[in-house]
Amino acid sequence: MKHIKTFQGTISASDCDHNNHMNVMYYVGKFDQGTWELFSIIGLTSDYFKEQHRGMVALEQHITYTKEVVAGDIIYVESKINSISDKIIKFTHNMYLQTSKELVATTTIVGLHIDTVKRKGVPLPLLVDRF
């Protein structure tokens, strides 16, 4: 799968901490928004999760910060699925500054597809096999 844009937004002053740059929790939040967009693109939609009693949980997340982001900066996230196995999906989000296209942060996430009633891992649906 190629990289696809999964999030874009402007950094607000409330996203920033006492160092005047975006706080770690907001990087995670923006990556999380990209995650749900990525899942929707591959067919793991809100309706699917509700109707099938399925969900996703993060098993691992690794973040690298390469450039500070401040209030007023416009950022976007591009995402790519690295691998899909029976119950596990691994993907990467890259966050960039809109104006310069500079990479500001990267996260790699390993997620598990679960049955939300039994609270255990279950195979991913075939609809994601094409990726």
One-letter amino acid for residue 68 of the chain:
E
Torsion of CA 120, 42, 28, 101, to 10 degrees: 160
pLDDT of residue 128: 58
Q: What radius of gyration do the chain's Cα atoms show?
A: 16
Q: Number of structural domains, the chain?
A: 1
- CATH number, domain of 11, equals 3.10.129.10
What number of helices (H) and strands (E) belong to the chain? Answer: 2, 6
d(C-alpha 37, C-alpha 123), whole Å: 20
103-122 pLDDT, tens digit per residue, is 999 999 999 999 999 999 99
40-78 pLDDT, tens digit per residue, is 999 999 999 999 999 999 999 999 999 999 999 999 999
Domain span holding position 78: 4-128
pLDDT of residue 129: 57
